[in-house]
Structure 1
Amino acid sequence: MIGVVLLGGLLGILNSTMAAVATTTLASALHASLSTVGWASTGFLLAVTATIPFTTWAVDKYGGRRLWLAGLAVFTAGSLAAGLAWDAGSLIAFRTLQGFGAGLLDPLVLILLARAAGPARAGRVMGLMGVVLSLGPVLGPVAGGAVLGGLSWRWMFLLSVPVGLIAYLLAVHVLPTDPPAGRHPAVRLDVLGLALLAPGFAALVLALSQTAEHGAFTAWQALLPLAVGIALITGYVLHALGSRRTPPLIDVRLFTSRGFTASVTIMGLGGLANFATLFALPLYYQQEHGHGVLAAGLLMAPAGLGGAIAMPLAGRLSDRIGARGLAAGGALVAGISALAFTRIAADTSQAWSVLAALTIGLGMGCFSAPTMGSLYRSLPGPLVAQGSSVLYMLNQLGAALGIALVTLILQTSADVITGFHGVFWLVTVLIAAVLAATPLLPGRPRTPAAHSEPATTPAKAS
């Protein structure tokens, strides 16, 4: 079951990162401007962000299996349509459809795996999930460069169709059957909460995307959606705190749990540092060393490989000894590696940057998997879906903010190396904040029996 779920989760990550390296090719093929074609990626990202809060409610209403199959069907149909797009407008529309499918799949990966594993094996399963999260953003550019080097751009989307169909058929046979309808009392959809939260987070992501495109936080194209997003999110918090008749989509009182707050903070800061690293490295190899997309992707691959090696091992170990020590050690290794990047000069051998990328991936993997495991250990079963939604929405914000900050730093720097150093001083500060937050993580996991009692409020960290 785990492999089938991870296969579906890898689809969206690979497809989004593959398309990101093809903007110039798509603009030329579809006779459109770069800014217009850029909306194919922006539309995908916004659709993902807007769909995640709905998934929180729908997984209990319709069941994880039904929703997973629906997400695969929507994503696969969007992939086929995007591969057949005839102009920029149709590509943007079909990429948005893909995003709605990915918005169902992304949080469901964590929800299904966390429910299947239980608290006692949360770290182990989150470590396996971390392999997808680590390799997906790295393999995407490599695969995208390989496809564009020998095939039409359409195959970046069409290749997802047979994979999606295989994932669908495997899920039909492997995923457990959902409980019969009506077995549990139906929970009413928080319509007002959905109307506030989904567009609120989407507006924040749009603001950050526009910041990266226009190179300034002060551009009106960024300030307007930022103001709208803050207003909507504030409205949601007030609504959720005052909600009585209908349970809110995400109970903001989750953040009164020290363990939950520490976990999502570390994952948010770590995700921001990771996206900044993965966005800056290929630009460094392309602009400073003149490599193409494929070569730059291969040179940055050690960052993802390090995470893929460390996360399963650290996740499994955290189930026995807890997250604090592993997370602190991983943050220390990642911080030293980020500092090493600030010492790289134009004439430094690329072997050193490859080694630093591997060790920063190892360090991030050592604090990410245990932290994800501790997050699910700190939540009672009924709140797993809400915790997954919070984590994924912060992940989307981290991706957008990381790209925006790297873009601004590079655009305002005197040269490529100065900008590269600035990016990794930022990464160093972010990882230092992660290190400072690790003592707040839950301690050694309690025995499985301690988790067997039902809970109705967020669990306090030990």
Structure 2
Amino acid sequence: MSSLSRLVGVVLLGGMLGILNSTMVAVGIDTLAAAFGTSLSAAGWMSTGFLLAVTAAIPVTSWAVDRFGARRLWLSGLLVFLAGSLGAGSAWDAGSLVGFRVVQGLGTGVLDPLVLVLLARAAGPRRAGRVMGLMGVVLSLGPVLGPLAGGALLEAFSWRWMFLLNVPVGVVAYALALRVVPDDPPDGRRARLDMIGLALLAPGFAALVLALSQAAEQAAFGAWPVLVPLAAGVALLAGYGLHARRGEPLIDPRLFARRSFSAAVVVMGLVGLATFATLFALPLFFRQVHGVGELAAGMLVAPVGAGAAVAMPLAGRLSDRLGARGLALGGAVVAALGGVAFTQVGPGTGVGWPVLAGCVMGLGLGSVGAPTMGSLYRLLPAPLIPQGSAVLYMLNQLGAALGIAVVTLIVQRAGDPVGGLRGVFWFALAMVAVILAAAPLLPGRPAPEARAVSEDRVG
């Protein structure tokens, strides 16, 4: 096994922990509320607190990579996540569990963007698509396997094992990382932390995510729990935009002046939005129309993730030779076919048709996602890769939160599960249409490595 293959396996093992844990806990909120004698709304902060901590930690990570080195930061992120997992598994009341979930979120906010940084640096521009395709497998299967694993654990063991199971897996990931992740001494280029930028950017994005999470809970965008954090988030991000025009900002908005970068992050945000809309709406349909349990509904949704997991490595490898543009266009067309099939679902439709449509949707979105991620890291100069990763993950968090909020609103207003499902997939089709419009802006066939990097530096 090559050193790159070992690194990919070890990094993905560590990166998978946060993704799986966030989705496992989502299916156990009612169990946790009952265990601590609290309301579902209060128990929801066990997930919301985690999500906000992830969002707040990501911008700091983009600075800390240069200050401390990726290897040291990766090992520290794993330790923080393990400490939070051990604490959450030992929690004595709802407040302590929320606190330890925040610690878990801080660790995950370090690990998530570092997955892409470590893999992009190790692979180089020529193999970016191949490695990002493997990363895409984790991103695709995590939201599907997490609920399955969470449901199985809750049926067989105490809720504490949703958190304690992370400990032995994390210890193995830490031990392997000590051996495999290469040392990279800090270069000191960004030794000073932009404290003003951090005070504006991290809470700004966290406030937007909170607003969208509250929109999903309230099933309305006009309620004050939504409008207050939304207004605060917009004001903070506007302030960051003004601040970032001078000095060396935490994340440079001039990244978006690069056409290929802007197109890539927009497409990836829409892929995440359409994916989470699908994964959120389908279980509701299977449970409410066909009366299956949560575990069975999770198994019926698995083909969405399986389709993406099959497509991403293949499309990523092809993109190293063919570029992202054509593959993303083809994948969007396939995803649109899956969306159209969903809009034809009726009250008498069996489970086979939605399962097949979900697999087609996953294949299409996977064929868009891996080439797009590969193009982003193929064209960014090495010093900008941490910032690019931070932007990608923050927009991914926003896309996921927005997808869940919009789906909740559509389902609530539809009044029946079938009408809700159709409405969700008309929304997903609209997102795919925007992907089709943005895909021509993605880079085509890659130039030789040296030429591609130098062109992007001057462009």
More displaced stretch, 125-134 vs 187-196? 187-196
Q: Which residue is equivalent to 1:229?
A: 233
Q: Is 1:254 matched up with 2:246?
A: no
Q: Which residue is equivalent to 1:214?
A: 218
Report deviation, 1:187: 2.8
More displaced stretch, 351-360 vs 444-453? 444-453
Q: Is 1:444 matched up with 2:450?
A: no
Report deviation, 1:283: 1.1
CA distance in 2, matches of 1:90, 1:292: 30
Q: Is 1:196 matched up with 2:200?
A: yes
Q: Is 1:163 matched up with 2:169?
A: yes
**SS class of match (2:101):** helix
For residues 93-242 of structure 1, the aligned pairs below 5 Å read 93-179=99-185, 183-241=187-245
Stretches of structure 2 lacking an aligned partner (at least 5 in a row): 1-6
Corresponding letter in the other structure for 1:129: M
Q: Which residue is equivalent to 1:321?
A: 322
For residues 304-383 of structure 1, the aligned pairs below 5 Å read 304-383=305-384
CA distance in 2, matches of 1:394, 1:159: 29
CA distance in 2, matches of 1:349, 1:127: 33
Corresponding letter in the other structure for 2:393: Y
CA distance in 2, matches of 1:297, 1:213: 21
Corresponding letter in the other structure for 1:393: M
CA distance in 1, matches of 2:438, 2:189: 39
Corresponding letter in the other structure for 2:81: F
Report deviation, 1:443: 1.5
CA distance in 2, matches of 1:75, 1:146: 22
CA distance in 2, matches of 1:75, 1:326: 36
**SS class of match (2:444):** coil
CA distance in 1, matches of 2:44, 2:450: 51
- Aligned-residue sequence identity (percent) comes to 66
Whether the aligned pair in 1 keeps the contact of 2:379 and 2:453 (CA below 8 Å) is: no
Corresponding letter in the other structure for 2:280: F
Report deviation, 1:344: 0.7
Report deviation, 1:130: 0.2
CA distance in 2, matches of 1:192, 1:184: 20
**SS class of match (1:178):** coil
**SS class of match (2:447):** coil
Corresponding letter in the other structure for 1:383: L
Report deviation, 1:186: 4.8
CA distance in 2, matches of 1:267, 1:304: 16
Corresponding letter in the other structure for 1:431: V
Report deviation, 1:83: 0.7
Q: Deviations over 1:217-247 (max 9, x none)?
A: 0110000000000000011011111x13xx1
Whether the aligned pair in 2 keeps the contact of 1:311 and 1:366 (CA below 8 Å) is: yes
Corresponding letter in the other structure for 1:436: A
Corresponding letter in the other structure for 2:310: I
CA distance in 2, matches of 1:358, 1:185: 46
For residues 32-111 of structure 1, the aligned pairs below 5 Å read 32-111=38-117
Report deviation, 1:436: 1.0
